């Protein structure tokens, strides 16, 4: 039976470290690290993510404020809002909650954020630094996975890490991080056009699933003893739940637990780590800007 990697507990440890750092920052600079979260529209999942981020930031002693704007906010007005936050010296981190409306050019919005305040790590300048192996604000989900592997004592050096998914938010930055010196994994990235997927996933010492397909990874796709990290958050209908659905990952947790050496649950795995790393990035951005 696999060991369950408790993302909630590891995230709590990261958040405690951030709280200590934020208190020290405040003592030194007379103000807390400051995060501004921009939420456009009333997408329910986005609202709940933003609430969770703001609450966690407040608990860690970060001055967090959510700037909620109506769904029909124009791109020009959104860019003007970002320009104002860029210019505000008392703001350290800016996060624009994605996805944005189809009418808005997401790339243009991301590029408008000052890279020094880009706590999501999505700006092309920060992505470039990541690929070059330079210090940067790292995208929160893959950074959280690395932190979780490190704090659970999972050996990555020389290990074969297989990443399922090539999105800009998870798959690609995950691969770049795993290749970094000090992490030193051998990395394979798979996607919807990959041939013989199960044959590749069975070679993984560390398997990271980020595809957005409920319980896609089955026990026969996993090498006995492998570490399985489940990034997926999928809603599946469930009449026994009050809200009519439950959340499951991209991994069939029950069956894969019988084979894997270690596995992250959904919820309570990668999700809390993503939020913890956002707080860490905000503190890091504040420290760098103060230097
Ligand atoms: P995405 O942008 O939709 O990308 C999905 C990737 O999976 C794509 O590269 C796609 O391949 C690949 N894929 C889809 N079906 C596949 C299949 N049958 N076989 C192999 N590859 C397949 O998704 P994302 O933003 O990376 O998110 C992935 C999942 O993680 C979602 O469930 C999302 O909700 C969740 N997520 C969780 C967190 C967290 O904090 N826990 C953070 C971000 C995302 P192609 O490129 O070929 O289309």
> What per-residue confidence (pLDDT) applies to 92?
98
Instruction: Tell whether ligand 1 has an atom less than 6 A from the beta carbon of residue 275.
Output: no
* 171/217 Cα distance (integer angstroms): 16
The single residue of 120, 205, 230, 252 carrying the catalytic annotation is 120
212 Cα–ligand 1 center, Å: 4
pTM above 0.85, yes or no: yes
Q: What is the pLDDT of residues 32-84, one digit of tens each?
A: 999 999 999 999 989 999 999 999 999 999 999 999 999 999 999 999 999 99
CA distance 267 to 270: 8
- 193-217: average pLDDT: 98
**Per residue in 2-40, pLDDT tens?**
999 999 999 999 999 999 999 999 999 999 999 999 999
Q: What are phi and psi of 163, to 5 degrees?
A: -105, 120
Answer for the pair 184, 155: CB distance below 8 angstroms, yes or no: no
- Which residue out of 167, 175, 232, 245 has the highest number of ligand 1 atoms within 8 Å of its CB and is therefore the one to mutate? 167
Query: Which ligand 1 atom is at minimum distance from the Cα of 144?
Result: 40
Q: How far is CA 289 from CA 110, 119, 128, 166, 179, in A?
A: 19, 13, 20, 31, 27
The single residue listed with the structure tokens 């090539």 is 166
Q: Which residues, including other chains, have CB under 8 Å from residue 26's CB and lie 6 or more apart? A: 32, 33, 61
Instruction: State in Å: Cα 228 to ligand 1 middle.
Output: 16
For ligand 1, is residue 170 a contact (CB within 6 Å)? yes
Q: Is the CB of 211 under 6 A from ligand 1?
A: yes
- Please return the burial class of 72, using the count of CB atoms within 10 Å of its CB with bins 0-12, 13-18 and 19+: exposed
CA–CA distance, 287 with 291 (Å, rounded to integer): 6
Label residue 174 by pLDDT band (50, 70, 90): very high
Q: Is 117 a catalytic residue?
A: no
The pLDDT of residue 103 is 92
Task: Clarify whether 97 is annotated catalytic.
Answer: yes
Strands 3-4 and 206-209: unpaired
Q: For 244-273, what is each residue's pLDDT tens digit?
A: 999 999 999 999 999 999 999 999 999 999
Ligand 1, atom 48: closest residue by C-alpha: 192
């Amino acid at each position: 039976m696999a060991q369950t990697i408790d993302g909630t507990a590891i995230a709590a440890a990261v958040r405690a470290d951030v709280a200590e750092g934020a208190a020290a920052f405040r003592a030194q600079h007379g103000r807390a690290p400051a995060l501004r979260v921009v939420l456009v529209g009333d997408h329910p999942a986005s609202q709940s993510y933003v609430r969770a981020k703001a609450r966690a930031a407040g608990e860690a002693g970060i001055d967090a404020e959510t700037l909620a704007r109506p769904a029909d906010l124009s791109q020009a007005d959104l860019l003007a809002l970002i320009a104002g936050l860029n210019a505000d010296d008392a703001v350290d981190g800016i996060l624009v909650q994605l996805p944005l409306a189809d009418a808005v050019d997401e790339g243009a919005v991301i590029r408008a954020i000052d890279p020094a305040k880009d706590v999501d790590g999505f700006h092309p300048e920060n992505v470039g630094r990541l690929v070059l192996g330079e210090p940067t604000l790292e995208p929160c989900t893959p950074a959280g996975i690395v932190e979780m592997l490190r704090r659970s004592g999972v050996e990555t050096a020389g290990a074969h890490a297989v990443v399922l998914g090539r999105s800009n938010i998870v798959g690609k930055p995950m691969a770049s991080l795993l290749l970094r010196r000090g992490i030193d994994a051998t990395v394979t990235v798979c996607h919807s056009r990959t041939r013989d997927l199960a044959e590749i996933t069975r070679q993984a010492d560390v398997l990271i699933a980020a595809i957005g397909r409920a319980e896609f990874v089955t026990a026969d796709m996993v090498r006995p003893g492998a570490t399985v990290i489940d990034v997926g958050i999928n809603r599946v209908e469930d009449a026994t739940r009050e809200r009519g659905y439950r959340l499951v990952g991209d991994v069939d947790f029950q069956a894969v637990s019988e084979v894997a050496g270690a596995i992250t649950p959904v919820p309570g795995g990668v999700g809390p780590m993503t939020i913890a790393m956002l707080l860490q990035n905000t503190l890091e951005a504040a420290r760098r800007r103060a230097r």
